[in-house]
Structure 1
Amino acid sequence: MSTQPKRASEWTIHGERVVDDSRRSILSVADVELPDGVRFEQYVLRVPNAAMVVILDDDDRVLMLWRHRFIANRWVWELPGGYLDPAESAIDCAMREVEEETGWRPRSLEKLIDFQPMIGTIDQLNTIYLARGADYTGGPLDENEAEKVAWIRLADIQDLIASGSIIGAGSVSGLLATLLLQASGKL
């Protein structure tokens, strides 16, 4: 069994202690050392992976949720999605979350991108899928999820991001990836 040699710029982790362990997250402090020998403590937040979906209809509109986010104290548009349950796949989570949050069931899902929202602090993979079309299942809107669900023109997305109406990392990442596909003619 061989081990990979340590790279010159790789940090050394001397230990990690848990500060808080709750239902959806573990907050810890890691004792880390930089390659030049400087040592310090770094907060680390470990949360379940998440999945989101960009759902496009035949009129190039995206299904989005209008939500209040208390941490930022703002109303924003977001893509449907959420945390993976234990042992749940990202694609199963994406399908479940869309239907729970919007009352729509995506017709198909294809992986769009993976990203880490804050790679220096948070250990969480986010997977974003692209769905082409959805069927309304008539599920009631959960007032705890969103104020409203609406189809937003893809042509308006850049302006909504620029105005601060779309600020979540997952929504911005997924929507920009979709706009890149559209611009390249691959959508």
Structure 2
Amino acid sequence: MNKFEEKTITTESIYSGKVVHLQIDEVLLPNGKKSKREIVKHPGAVGVVAITEEQKILLVRQFRKALEKTILEIPAGKLEPGEDPATCAIRELEEETGYCAMHVRPIASFYTSPGFADELLYVYQAEQLTLGQQHTDDDEFVEVVSLTLDECFASIQKGEICDAKTVLAIYHWQLLK
């Protein structure tokens, strides 16, 4: 065991849902003491940076119950079991915005909240966009919005854009310009 590793002694499953699985692990700490860790297991997700020919980023406006407010985000969605993240990115972009990407290329991947969750989020740049047909899930209500870079920064200041993946996407776009 390395000097920071926590060895799992027991795992107790608390809840299995459509999106997350919750568990409590009893762990052996590096100092020999025991502790408990509450862990959220998540299958992973993707986010898509899609810039139109008009130099606007495609975003979706949607209500987020965990925040109790409506925010603007890059198109994103959960990975299906065994699904390739690039395939998921293309699918989610089309489902949420109606835009199709001929190609996507990886920008970054990161753990969203490593203190309690194992969700790994992949962010892709969409390339060669064409407008198709939006087809959201039955429980998904989104409005497609396209903003300039300056409008994005104003939306960050107003708190309309407030999630990590979207802020990362906007700063990535700024670096490309």
Instruction: Give TM-score, length-normalised by structure 2.
Output: 0.90
Q: Over residues 139-174 of structure 1, what are the superposed CA-to-partner deviations in whole Å (9 max), with x where a residue is unaligned?
A: 366684344202111222222223211112222233
Q: Contact 1:51/1:128 (CA < 8 Å) preserved in 2?
A: yes
Q: Which residue of structure 2 aligns with residue 103 of structure 1? A: 98
1:37-116 matches, cutoff 5 A: 37-116=32-111
Q: Please state whether the residue corresponding to 2:103 is helix, strand or coil.
A: coil
Distance 2:114 2:142 in 1: 31
Gap regions ≥5 residues in structure 2: none
Distance 1:162 1:42 in 2: 35
Q: Which residue of structure 2 aligns with residue 158 of structure 1? A: 153
Distance 2:61 2:53 in 1: 21
Across the aligned residues of Structure 1 and Structure 2, the Cα RMSD in angstroms comes to 1.9
Gap regions ≥5 residues in structure 1: 1-5
1:36 aligns with 2:31: yes
Q: Give how far 1:132 is off.
A: 3.4
Q: 1:144 to 1:20 in 2, by over 3 A?
A: closer
Distance 1:108 1:57 in 2: 14
Q: Give how far 1:79 is off.
A: 0.8
1:14 aligns with 2:9: yes
**Aligned equivalent of 1:120, options 103, 115, 122:** 115
Q: 1:68 to 1:83 in 2, by over 3 A?
A: same
Distance 1:102 1:145 in 2: 12
Distance 1:146 1:77 in 2: 12
Give, as a single letter, the amino acid of the residue that structure 2 aligns with 1:66: R
Q: Contact 1:11/1:34 (CA < 8 Å) preserved in 2?
A: yes
Give the share of equivalent positions with the same residue, in percent.
24
Distance 2:28 2:167 in 1: 33
